């Protein structure tokens, strides 16, 4: 980790993950899993709305690989939850 993607592929899969998140009206955290076909197309496999969240789980490890450490990730998620207009606070 991270996957051996080109900068262009990384940008595309991030765009697709955001698109999937918004299309399904998700809030908070999700892990969007994709396959990369031999033709270079991304295919979404699943949107996991309850990904593992221990320090050894893939979700925080992927954020760590992108430069966001576990404590900062927790802070960002709490701040986002406090800003949202739906659900319990």
Backbone dihedral angles phi then psi of residue 23, each to the nearest 5 degrees: -65, -25
Predicted local distance difference test score (pLDDT) of residue 70: 92
For residue 52, give the nearest of 39, 76, 70, 67 by alpha carbon.
Answer: 70
Q: What is the DSSP letter of 85?
A: S
**Could you state, in order of their start, the residue ranges of all structural domains in the chain?**
7-81
Predicted local distance difference test score (pLDDT) of residue 14: 94
Share of the chain above pLDDT 70, in %: 94
Give the span between the Cα atoms of 3 and 42, in whole angstroms. Answer: 13
Predicted local distance difference test score (pLDDT) of residue 87: 62
Fold of 7-81: D-amino Acid Aminotransferase; Chain A, domain 1 (3.30.470)
* Mean predicted confidence (pLDDT) in 61-77: 92
* Mean predicted confidence (pLDDT) in 75-82: 91
Helix ranges (H only) for the chain are 7-23, 58-65, 70-83
Give the span between the Cα atoms of 63 and 46, in whole angstroms. Answer: 18
pLDDT band for 74, please (50, 70, 90 cuts).
Answer: very high
């Amino acid at each position: 980790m991270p996957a051996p993607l080109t900068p262009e592929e990384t940008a595309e899969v991030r765009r697709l993950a955001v698109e999937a998140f918004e299309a399904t009206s998700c809030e908070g955290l999700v892990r969007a899993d994709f396959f990369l076909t031999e033709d270079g197309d991304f295919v979404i496999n699943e949107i996991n709305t309850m990904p593992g969240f221990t320090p050894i789980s893939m979700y925080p490890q992927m954020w760590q690989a992108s430069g966001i450490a576990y404590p900062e990730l927790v802070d960002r998620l709490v701040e986002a939850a406090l800003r949202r207009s739906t659900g319990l606070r």
